[in-house]
Chains A and B, each alone.
Chain A
Amino acid sequence: MPKRVLLGLLLACGLTAPALAQEPKTGGVINAVIQPEPPGLMLAQVQNGPTQMVSGNIFEGLLRYSPKLEPLPELAESWSVSEDAKTYTFKLKKGVTWHDGKPFTAADVLFSMEMLKQTHARARTNLAQVDKIETPDDYTVVFTLKQPFGPFLGIFEVGSMPMVPKHLYEGTDWKTNPYNNAPVGTGPFMFKEWQKGSFIRLVKNPNYHEKGKPYIDEIYWQIIPDAAARSVAYETGKVDVLPGGSVENFDVPRLSKLKDTCVTGAGWEFFSPLAWLWLNNRQGPLADKRVRQAIMYAIDRDFAKDVIWNGLGKVATGPSASTIKFYTDDVPKYPYNPAKAKALLKEAGYKGEKIRLLPLAYGETWQRWGEAVKQNLQDVGMNIETIATDVAGGNQKIGDWDYDIAFTYLYQYGDPALGVGRNYISSNIAKGQVFNNVEGYSNPEIDKLFADGATATPDSKRKEIYDKAQKILVEDVPVAWMLELQFPTITRCKVKNLITTGIGVNDGFKDAWLDK
């Protein structure tokens, strides 16, 4: 009889467990894959993808962003914008300490801005609009801009604007400071050790400023150089988290079907990687708008999404990803229509001139995509020759404008003024770079629209401007937009709340907990 009671109790517990599951549990260790091994962890000086992913746990920014890209408090607890949209006042959170116990104050913010202007290319560009920064007291920072800058509240995430400790860096040589190897931040996890080629170990920050967080005791970032070995490491249980892009796409369906495995495409809204084909607007058949439009009609982008990317992502409608601000789908559409592509080519007088296609040397997925696009274009009568090359060689060719069609994907950073305009304005045409206006598209009207869009207020006015710009661009097809990429994050289902913001895994594991 007592046995049966016990069984009943167990059953009751089992049945009520799902209701309790939402209550975070503390403790436990998470093993995650980091690919490739980061060159360093000092986020203010190194901005590689893997650095952002690991160091997003150690450092913090003033703000973070929701999946809808609304600013959320992190080190700044509130903020206000002046009437003329030129003065931004941030109130810092009190009681925040660095990992070594020293308090975090406005002086650290001021110092971080100084360092980032020298060491962080993107932060330097973003801060170019800032006239002066003042700190009236220890917990207030005031930014005064030269002119209104619409996306200003979108530049404070940890990867773009990490806060660094003034007391450890002031007066030292930043590049050789010993704390670069054992970084000190305000984040939920503290750097513990780094066995090169093997793992990076972070431990819980017991004095973290959000009470009760983080829930996890330790994070091991496992370094496994081979893609197949990374899949196996997940299957055998050595790792529990495969961040986006760490296994080949072809392995995703198989891994997704494993027991207790959860897959999500969320957490890339802030970056919104958009894949497109650079089309060299300067020379040859592609200088003709109709040929460029024909390319849009000729490529079966749904096939690419369903087969090559395993159904993840979204067919792009134009220069903006649908996840960023001021996106509109009220633009000309280019469904898969080979007959129309053929007609446009005929109209443009294309006579089988050779067109060189440069795939992206980022692994099997991109290789296969290059083959599929080539076949699509050949099917409508284009004479395509694939040029095989490695990453460096491809960058060289793109930088020298020595290509006709080339694959790429770029981040959008949430706002057209930060991540979209840069690819189409004519002042960004310069030899030697692999992003910005590589295609050589030049349209004074577009230049003006993007210049106005960045400084216009309020947002409704900006929307009007960007709607117009998107319509013109989609009509002109300066580049062939392919897919809004989603890099699936694969985790064991017991890992909860890993991705809570639009910055995803790069935002750190502060909300994550393990359901044991």
Chain B
Amino acid sequence: MKQFWKAMLKSPSGVIGLIILLLAISVAVFGPMLFPNSPWRMVQRPFLPPFTLSTVPLGTDALGRDVFAGMIFGARVSLLVGLVSTLVALVVGVPIGAMAGYFGGKVDDALMRFTEFFQTIPSFALAIVLVAILQPSIYSIVASIAVVSWPPVARLVRGEVLSLRTREYVQAAVVTGQSNSWIILREILPNALSPVIVLASLMVATAILLESSLAFLGLGDPNLISWGYMVGAGRTVIRQAWWITVFPGVAILISVLGLNLIGEGLNDALNPRLSREGR
């Protein structure tokens, strides 16, 4: 563990990514405490440009709502959706991939055809359809993002398990009569974890983008403010009021960039040999 952190902190991209993520998380956690007002509240005159009033530093939107408050509350929704939907995707994808890789044969065939079924449908189109059918709410959004993002996890885990199950220590466990679930959970998965962690960090970024795109198209949860919603709602007035779209857009850009940097850092830290050979 110590070694991991050392490697992580050595990679500059990992450090920058971590700083960005920590900042975003602290904004999401503590921000609403500093700004107790609802971001939906009309506080000033509409279309107030940024940096004119200290109470609304980033200006107001078409209804006179505080853009800065929206950004802070939006961070909470965007990060939460990103993390939770990734977790759900892992919970679905890892067992399917592990079982397919471990048991092989017909189980593998069945599970992989099932996975391919989801992979052949363009993921964003599927997400739109799901949210539209289920009615937009935070739950349907998390569910639909999870549904479109688990297949790559399953395929990755399956590949890892396929190669690990031929290793001697796994065969030794089989010979000593350990149960299948014990072998998968204790012997194989811990060793397959590092690429999954790298993938997961990138999936959080993708999920944030997906949520933003859905909200941009008007398929966000109408009761929650998110960055994508702000960009979508400000889009029609972008020529009069650039700040309504630009600030949340930058927030999306930075947090997605941060998560990608973390993914890179994790990759360096978890596969030291690979990365050193690469250079």
Contact A364 B233, CB 8 Å, known A388-B135, A388-B219: yes
Residues from chain B with Cβ under 8 Å of A375 in the complex: 38, 40-42
Complex: chain A residue closest to B219, CB-CB: A388
> Which 3 residue pairs are nearest across A and B when measured between Cβ atoms?
A386-B222, A388-B136, A388-B222
The reply to whether B240 and A250 contact each other, CB–CB distance below 8 Å, is yes
The reply to whether A368 and B62 contact each other, CB–CB distance below 8 Å, is yes
B: contact size bracket: 20 to 34
Residues from chain A with Cβ under 8 Å of B218 in the complex: 367, 388
Docked Cα-Cα span, A227 to B237, in Å, equals 12
Contact with A along B195-231 (1 / 0, CB 8 A): 0000000000000000000000011111100000000
8 A-B contact pairs sorted by A residue (CB < 8 Å): A307-B63, A359-B222, A368-B63, A370-B222, A372-B63, A375-B40, A378-B40, A388-B218
The reply to whether A368 and B233 contact each other, CB–CB distance below 8 Å, is yes
Complex: chain B residue closest to A364, CB-CB: B236
Whether, in the assembled complex, B2 has its beta carbon less than 8 Å from a beta carbon of chain A, the answer is no
Docked Cα-Cα span, A372 to B63, in Å, equals 8
Whether, in the assembled complex, B57 has its beta carbon less than 8 Å from a beta carbon of chain A, the answer is no
Residues from chain B with Cβ under 8 Å of A307 in the complex: 42, 46, 62-64
The 8 Å CB contact of B222, one of A308, A372, A387, is A387
The 8 Å CB contact of A308, one of B63, B132, B136, B137, is B63
The 8 Å CB contact of B236, one of A227, A359, A374, A393, is A227
Complex: chain A residue closest to B45, CB-CB: A307
Interface residues of B in 231-261 (CB under 8 A from A): 233, 236-237, 239-240
Contact A371 B40, CB 8 Å, known A250-B62, A250-B240, A251-B236: yes
The number of inter-chain residue pairs (CB within 8 angstroms) is 56
Docked Cα-Cα span, A368 to B42, in Å, equals 11
Whether, in the assembled complex, A13 has its beta carbon less than 8 Å from a beta carbon of chain B, the answer is no
Complex: chain A residue closest to B237, CB-CB: A250
Name A residues whose Cβ lies closer than 8 Å to a Cβ of B. 227-228, 248, 250-251, 253-254, 303, 307-308, 359, 364, 367-368, 370-372, 374-375, 378-379, 385-390, 393
The reply to whether A389 and B63 contact each other, CB–CB distance below 8 Å, is no
- Within the complex, what minimum Cβ distance (angstroms) separates A42 from chain B? 34
- Within the complex, what minimum Cβ distance (angstroms) separates A298 from chain B? 14
Complex: chain B residue closest to A248, CB-CB: B236
Docked Cα-Cα span, A388 to B62, in Å, equals 20
- Within the complex, what minimum Cβ distance (angstroms) separates B129 from chain A? 13
Contact A367 B233, CB 8 Å, known A250-B62, A375-B38: yes
Docked Cα-Cα span, A254 to B238, in Å, equals 12
Docked Cα-Cα span, A389 to B131, in Å, equals 11
Docked Cα-Cα span, A123 to B139, in Å, equals 47
The reply to whether B62 and A374 contact each other, CB–CB distance below 8 Å, is no
The 8 Å CB contact of A385, one of B219, B223, B236, is B223
Residues from chain B with Cβ under 8 Å of A389 in the complex: 135
Residues from chain B with Cβ under 8 Å of A388 in the complex: 135-137, 218-222
8 new A-B pairs (CB below 8 Å) besides A253-B240, A364-B233, A378-B40?
A228-B236, A250-B236, A359-B222, A368-B233, A372-B63, A375-B41, A386-B223, A388-B219
